[in-house]
Amino acid sequence: MTMRNLSSYYDEETYKLLKSILEEVVIPDKAFEWLTEYDIIPSCQTIELLMDKKMELDHFIHGVLAMCQKEGHENITIKQLNDIVATLHPEIKISFKIYLFELLLEGKYYPYLENTILPLKNISNNYKTINKTIDNAMGKAAYYARSGTLSKLYTLQESKKLQWKFQPLTDTQHANVLKWIQDNVKKGEGNINARLGWSCGPDSSPWPSEHLQDYIRTLCILNEIRE
């Protein structure tokens, strides 16, 4: 087996493992951000799988909320919510129900949980849709100058018709990211020995790129997709 075939084999095995795990668990809100923090560029197959699972979760949450609103619930108990979920999705994984309940509970403890009445809006207030999730991930990929991941995320979100836009003129976070990249390009082009990215930071977390070409490629992508 050649090195290329060996790499493809492990990519396929990793994908199969990830797919089997995602059948049982809810995708964490930060899953896409984790993909952007490291130099390793994730495969399109992996990103697309995460997007598809997140879109399924969006559909599940929106469907439950629509049924709750149809039944006139502004406030709801865990028991009522569980009954609605059981009606809409009788075979739903327990992890999805637990996730939904956690959105409603907002991390708080209630001694008489089953019959505690809570605002239905807690769910929508605490849930991040795929559009918000992708916005966070794209911003982080740009900030870390992960141009390969940024390019793949943008291409795939377009294919899913998510309609994400880079809008530095109207979005403060987008403007800050663009300025950060521009400043690093200017710094690197002005002094080939300049240290790019962070000058200091936590040892336990990934750092932005230190390479000028990464910032140049990232800036080119941002200029191409900006509005």
Q: Indicate whether 165 and 77 sit together in one domain.
A: no
Question: Mapping DSSP to helix (H, G, I), strand (E, B) and coil, where does residue 198 land?
Answer: coil
Q: Indicate whether 117 and 187 sit together in one domain.
A: no
pLDDT in tens, 109-157: 777 777 789 999 999 999 999 999 999 999 999 999 999 999 999 999 9
Residues 104/78, Cβ–Cβ less than 8 Å: yes
pLDDT for residue 196 is more than 70: yes
Q: Indicate whether 95 and 172 sit together in one domain.
A: no
How far is it, in rounded angstroms, from Cα 147 to Cα 41?
A: 9
Q: Indicate whether 11 and 122 sit together in one domain.
A: yes
Three-state secondary structure string covering 98-150: HHHHHHHHCCCCCCCHHHCCEECHHHHHHCCCHHHHHHHHHHHHHHCCCHHHH
pLDDT in tens, 183-192: 999 999 999 8
What Cα–Cα distance (Å) separates residue 66 from each residue in 1, 92, 143? 52, 17, 36
Where does a domain end: 78, 105, 126? 126
Where does a domain end: 126, 160, 195? 126
Task: Classify the C-alpha dihedral 121-123-126-129 as positive or negative.
Answer: negative
Query: What confidence tier does 87 reach under pLDDT thresholds 50, 70, 90?
Result: very high
How far is it, in rounded angstroms, from Cα 73 to Cα 75?
A: 5
Q: Indicate whether 103 and 134 sit together in one domain.
A: no
What is the model's pLDDT at position 14?
A: 72
Domain with 81, as residue range(s), is 3-126
Residue 67's identity, in one-letter code, is M
**% of the chain at pLDDT higher than 90:** 61
Q: Indicate whether 118 and 160 sit together in one domain.
A: no
Number of domains, the chain: 2
